[in-house]
Amino acid sequence: MATWNSRGLRGSALEEYINRTNEKYLENHLALIQKIPTPITPITIDKESRHITLAYFDQKSTVDYIGAVQGIPVCFDAKECHTDTFPLANIHEHQVKFMESFEEQGGIAFFLISYTGREEFYYLQFSVLKKFWERKEQGGRKSFRYEELDPSFILHTKGGLLVPYLDGIQKDLERRD
């Protein structure tokens, strides 16, 4: 069974940036996106700080965020990458299957990747991830390189929005037509 410990706090800055962006989108009536908590069962709790220091996951999580943008169902997962090579091991098969089913139902699924070394946020369309995933499944690379990505999906901070992923969704929709 998978367990969680303090390493689980990786990505918390990215999560905070996304949460603040979600608040701005809600305030402006542009989107309603909620963080999906990962169900855990605590094993060890630090009595002084009352923080969970060891726990196990009750079930596999699907995505980090889900909601609607102007009536369009949206789900996405947030990932951090410290180098220019993103290991596909950071994405799980059940996530890919969930996102595939989500898109089959008319929703938009994607990944937000924080390239920390570049201080960039990237909107990765599910269709692009799926190509990398299928390449891996057929015995190819088990990762993808930054250079393989379309630079037009880099998200630039603007107007108080730290991770303006609606720009990525708009571009994604335009490419689907």
pLDDT digits (tens, 9 = 90+) for 130-143: 999 999 999 999 99
Structure confidence at residue 8 (pLDDT): 43
Structure confidence at residue 50 (pLDDT): 73
Structure confidence at residue 54 (pLDDT): 67
Whole-model pTM over 0.85:
no
Percent of the chain with pLDDT over 90: 70
Bridge partners for 68 per DSSP: 32, 73
Position 41 in a domain: no
Per residue in 87-122, pLDDT tens?
999 999 999 999 999 999 999 999 999 999 999 999
3-state DSSP assignment of residue 25: helix
Position 97 in a domain: yes
Position 153 in a domain: yes
Position 48 in a domain: no
* CA-CA-CA-CA dihedral for 120, 155, 160, 82, to nearest 10: -20
**58 labelled binding-site residue:** no
Average pLDDT, the chain: 87
Is residue 154 within 8 Å of residue 122, measured between CB atoms?
yes
Position 154 in a domain: yes
Structure confidence at residue 136 (pLDDT): 96
Position 7 in a domain: no
Position 54 in a domain: no
Structure confidence at residue 62 (pLDDT): 80
Q: Which domain holds residue 84?
A: 18-36+63-176
What is the CATH classification number for the domain harbouring 130?
Answer: 3.40.1350.10
Position 45 in a domain: no
**77 labelled binding-site residue:** yes
> Is the alpha carbon torsion for 137, 135, 102, 61 positive or negative?
positive
**172 labelled binding-site residue:** no
Structure token digits, residue 41: 């069962």
**84 labelled binding-site residue:** no
Phi, psi values for residue 10, rounded to 5°: -60, 140
DSSP alpha helix (H) spans, 75-159: 93-104, 126-137
**Average pLDDT of adjacent 10-residue blocks, the chain of 177 residues:** 41 85 95 83 72 62 90 95 95 94 96 94 97 96 97 92 94 89
The domain total for the chain is 1
What is the spatial distance between Cα 10 and Cα 15, in angstroms, rounded to a whole number? Answer: 9
Is residue 46 within 8 Å of residue 53, measured between CB atoms?
yes
